[in-house]
Amino acid sequence: MQSRSRHTLFTSLAVNVGLPLVLFYVLRGAGMVQWQALLLSSAPPALHALGEAVIRRRVDPFDMFILVLLLVSAGTSVISGSPRVLLLKDAALPAALGLWILSTLAMARPFAFQFGGRLRGPEAAAVAERAWRDSAEFRGALRGLTAVWGGIELLDAVLNTVNALVLPVDVVPLVGRIESLGLIGLAAVISIHRSRSFRARHGIALFGTRAEAPAKTPADA
């Protein structure tokens, strides 16, 4: 399961980060105008999302949001002739993701719990479900991490907006990717640190991949 998760992560980074960035600068080096290079370099993530929907025979709302956002920004950019409209697309994505992550705080299971479910085996998943049901500390820790991830995505959106409006167009894709990866790395470091601290105090990892003893509750004392 861990191997499959890593493969999915690397594929996502390559398609959504690496390939568009390389393609943009290759097209610019070939003399293509900025808005056309931005539009064509946005195609790989959109095609990947469409291909995943066809293969899985299931429409992912966020993937469809990416496609619609690309079409709208592309049409607006063609009409206005401004590449900055396409650059603002890179701010809209983390904004939407951040708002969605924060919205899961009102759901039965927040984002951090759902994300952890991708890393857990069946036995560990059962332990996590018991911990969620019985431990207020477990629920609070995962809600806190959900708030961290949502806030960081919104910060990424703000920085991308500033970049798109202020920086030279040709440097925005590179600067934006570096900032986004840095913020994701920060969120990951915070998550790992808090998970290890929680495990040391309560005997269960927030994102554990193997079954562990459930956290103690007041009723067990």
Contact 215, 137 (CB under 8 A): yes
Contact 111, 101 (CB under 8 A): yes
Given a cut of 70, is residue 219 above it in pLDDT? no
**Rounded to an integer, what is the distance from CA 190 to the centroid of its chain?**
15
Q: pLDDT tens digits, residue range 173-206? A: 999 989 988 999 999 999 999 988 988 888 887 8
Output the average pLDDT for the chain: 80
Given a cut of 80, is residue 108 above it in pLDDT? yes
Which stretch of 65-69, 84-88, 114-118, 194-198 has the lowest confidence by average pLDDT?
A: 65-69
Domains of the chain by residue range: 2-220
pLDDT at 80: 63
For residues 198 and 221, which has the higher predicted lDDT (pLDDT)?
A: 198
Instruction: For the chain, count helices (H), then strands (E).
Output: 10, 0
Full 3-state SS string of 47-102: HHHHHHHHHHCCCCHHHHHHHHHHHHHHHHHHHHCCHHHHHHHHHHHHHHHHHHHH
For residues 154 and 3, which has the higher predicted lDDT (pLDDT)?
A: 154
Q: pLDDT tens digits, residue range 116-144? A: 877 676 777 788 888 898 889 999 999 99
pLDDT confidence band for 82 (50 / 70 / 90): confident
pLDDT at 74: 66
pLDDT confidence band for 148 (50 / 70 / 90): very high
pLDDT at 124: 73
